[in-house]
Protein backbone atom coordinates (compact mmCIF):
# COMPACT_ATOMS: atom_id res chain seq x y z
CA UNK A 1 0.00 0.00 0.00
CA UNK A 2 1.19 3.43 -0.73
CA UNK A 3 0.99 6.40 1.64
CA UNK A 4 -2.20 7.85 0.10
CA UNK A 5 -4.11 4.60 0.60
CA UNK A 6 -2.88 4.33 4.20
CA UNK A 7 -3.99 7.88 4.95
CA UNK A 8 -7.38 7.28 3.33
CA UNK A 9 -7.93 4.09 5.35
CA UNK A 10 -6.88 5.87 8.55
CA UNK A 11 -9.30 8.76 7.90
CA UNK A 12 -12.18 6.37 7.14
CA UNK A 13 -11.46 4.36 10.31
CA UNK A 14 -11.33 7.57 12.35
CA UNK A 15 -14.68 8.70 10.92
CA UNK A 16 -16.27 5.31 11.65
CA UNK A 17 -14.88 4.86 15.18
CA UNK A 18 -15.35 8.41 16.50
CA UNK A 19 -19.16 8.29 16.99
CA UNK A 20 -18.91 5.05 18.99
CA UNK A 21 -16.13 6.44 21.14
CA UNK A 22 -18.15 9.59 21.79
CA UNK A 23 -21.26 7.56 22.74
CA UNK A 24 -19.18 5.42 25.11
CA UNK A 25 -17.71 8.52 26.73
CA UNK A 26 -21.15 10.10 27.05
CA UNK A 27 -22.57 6.95 28.68
CA UNK A 28 -19.67 6.80 31.14
CA UNK A 29 -20.23 10.45 32.07
CA UNK A 30 -23.96 9.82 32.53
CA UNK A 31 -23.21 6.82 34.78
CA UNK A 32 -20.70 8.85 36.80
CA UNK A 33 -23.31 11.57 37.36
CA UNK A 34 -25.96 9.03 38.39
CA UNK A 35 -23.55 7.32 40.80
CA UNK A 36 -22.50 10.65 42.29
CA UNK A 37 -26.16 11.53 42.92
CA UNK A 38 -26.73 8.11 44.52
CA UNK A 39 -23.69 8.52 46.78
CA UNK A 40 -24.90 11.95 47.87
CA UNK A 41 -28.27 10.47 48.86
CA UNK A 42 -26.54 7.66 50.75
CA UNK A 43 -24.27 10.09 52.60
CA UNK A 44 -27.34 12.07 53.70
CA UNK A 45 -28.45 8.87 55.45
CA UNK A 46 -24.93 8.21 56.86
CA UNK A 47 -24.47 5.26 54.51
CA UNK A 48 -21.92 4.14 51.93
CA UNK A 49 -22.69 2.39 48.67
CA UNK A 50 -21.03 -1.05 48.70
CA UNK A 51 -22.67 -2.38 45.56
CA UNK A 52 -24.39 -0.61 42.70
CA UNK A 53 -25.67 -1.22 39.20
CA UNK A 54 -26.83 0.94 36.33
CA UNK A 55 -29.77 0.28 34.07
CA UNK A 56 -31.14 2.67 31.49
CA UNK A 57 -31.75 5.96 33.34
CA UNK A 58 -31.29 4.88 36.95
CA UNK A 59 -28.82 3.44 39.40
CA UNK A 60 -29.57 1.16 42.32
CA UNK A 61 -27.19 0.80 45.24
CA UNK A 62 -26.88 -1.00 48.54
CA UNK A 63 -25.25 -0.38 51.89
CA UNK A 64 -25.12 -3.98 53.10
CA UNK A 65 -23.78 -3.06 56.57
CA UNK A 66 -26.64 -0.71 57.44
CA UNK A 67 -29.17 -2.62 55.32
CA UNK A 68 -30.22 0.36 53.23
CA UNK A 69 -31.21 0.22 49.56
CA UNK A 70 -31.03 3.35 47.41
CA UNK A 71 -32.43 4.15 44.00
CA UNK A 72 -31.79 7.27 41.96
CA UNK A 73 -33.65 7.75 38.70
CA UNK A 74 -33.55 10.52 36.15
CA UNK A 75 -36.87 10.86 34.30
CA UNK A 76 -37.14 13.61 31.74
CA UNK A 77 -37.12 16.77 33.89
CA UNK A 78 -37.50 15.15 37.31
CA UNK A 79 -35.16 13.23 39.56
CA UNK A 80 -36.52 10.49 41.79
CA UNK A 81 -34.65 9.18 44.79
CA UNK A 82 -35.88 6.43 47.06
CA UNK A 83 -34.48 4.80 50.19
CA UNK A 84 -35.64 1.50 51.64
CA UNK A 85 -34.66 0.47 55.16
CA UNK A 86 -34.23 -3.29 54.78
CA UNK A 87 -34.12 -3.87 58.54
CA UNK A 88 -37.95 -3.63 58.52
CA UNK A 89 -38.32 -5.93 55.51
CA UNK A 90 -38.94 -9.67 55.56
CA UNK A 91 -38.64 -10.43 51.85
CA UNK A 92 -38.23 -8.83 48.43
CA UNK A 93 -39.99 -9.93 45.25
CA UNK A 94 -40.35 -8.87 41.62
CA UNK A 95 -43.75 -7.41 40.82
CA UNK A 96 -44.89 -7.28 37.19
CA UNK A 97 -47.90 -5.33 36.01
CA UNK A 98 -49.37 -6.29 32.65
CA UNK A 99 -52.04 -4.63 30.59
CA UNK A 100 -54.27 -6.45 28.16
CA UNK A 101 -54.61 -5.22 24.61
CA UNK A 102 -56.85 -7.51 22.61
CA UNK A 103 -55.47 -11.02 22.97
CA UNK A 104 -52.01 -9.91 24.17
CA UNK A 105 -50.66 -9.07 27.60
CA UNK A 106 -48.07 -6.30 27.46
CA UNK A 107 -45.62 -5.56 30.25
CA UNK A 108 -46.47 -2.19 31.72
CA UNK A 109 -44.40 -1.97 34.89
CA UNK A 110 -41.70 -3.83 36.87
CA UNK A 111 -41.20 -3.09 40.54
CA UNK A 112 -39.27 -4.44 43.48
CA UNK A 113 -41.86 -5.20 46.14
CA UNK A 114 -40.81 -5.26 49.79
CA UNK A 115 -42.80 -7.31 52.28
CA UNK A 116 -42.76 -5.93 55.83
CA UNK A 117 -41.87 -7.99 58.88
CA UNK A 118 -45.13 -7.35 60.73
CA UNK A 119 -47.80 -6.95 58.05
CA UNK A 120 -46.72 -9.81 55.73
CA UNK A 121 -47.81 -7.67 52.77
CA UNK A 122 -46.06 -5.35 50.34
CA UNK A 123 -45.22 -2.19 52.26
CA UNK A 124 -42.88 -0.54 49.75
CA UNK A 125 -42.37 -0.64 45.98
CA UNK A 126 -39.48 0.58 43.86
CA UNK A 127 -40.29 1.03 40.20
CA UNK A 128 -37.48 -0.14 37.92
CA UNK A 129 -39.40 -0.07 34.64
CA UNK A 130 -42.40 1.79 33.31
CA UNK A 131 -43.37 1.58 29.64
CA UNK A 132 -44.32 5.25 29.78
CA UNK A 133 -40.72 6.40 30.27
CA UNK A 134 -38.44 3.92 28.51
CA UNK A 135 -38.02 0.79 26.46
CA UNK A 136 -37.35 -2.51 28.20
CA UNK A 137 -33.56 -3.00 28.33
CA UNK A 138 -32.76 -5.68 30.88
CA UNK A 139 -34.79 -4.26 33.75
CA UNK A 140 -36.50 -7.58 34.46
CA UNK A 141 -33.19 -9.43 34.75
CA UNK A 142 -31.84 -6.63 36.94
CA UNK A 143 -34.92 -6.82 39.19
CA UNK A 144 -34.48 -10.58 39.56
CA UNK A 145 -30.78 -10.20 40.35
CA UNK A 146 -31.37 -7.52 42.99
CA UNK A 147 -34.28 -9.43 44.51
CA UNK A 148 -31.94 -12.37 45.00
CA UNK A 149 -29.19 -10.11 46.40
CA UNK A 150 -31.58 -8.40 48.83
CA UNK A 151 -33.11 -11.69 49.99
CA UNK A 152 -29.60 -13.01 50.78
CA UNK A 153 -29.02 -10.01 53.04
CA UNK A 154 -32.42 -10.45 54.68
CA UNK A 155 -31.91 -14.15 55.49
Residue by residue, pLDDT tens for the chain (155 residues) are 688 888 888 888 888 888 888 888 877 888 788 788 888 888 888 888 888 888 777 788 888 888 888 888 876 677 888 888 888 888 888 888 877 777 777 777 888 888 887 777 777 888 877 777 666 677 888 888 888 888 888 88
The whole domain housing 88 covers 3-154
Q: Is 115 helix (H, G, I), strand (E, B) or coil?
A: strand
Q: Are strands 51-55 and 104-116 parallel, antiparallel or unpaired?
A: unpaired
pTM over 0.85: no
Contact 128, 112 (CB under 8 A): yes
| Start-end of H helices in the chain | 3-44, 139-154
**Gap between the Cα atoms of 91 and 81, Å rounded:** 21
Per the structure, the count of domains in the chain is 1
Amino acid sequence: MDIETSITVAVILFICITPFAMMHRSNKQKEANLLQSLKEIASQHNCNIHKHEFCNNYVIGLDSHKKQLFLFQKQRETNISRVVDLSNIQKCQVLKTNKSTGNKDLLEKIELGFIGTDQNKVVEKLEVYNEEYAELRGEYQLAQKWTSEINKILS
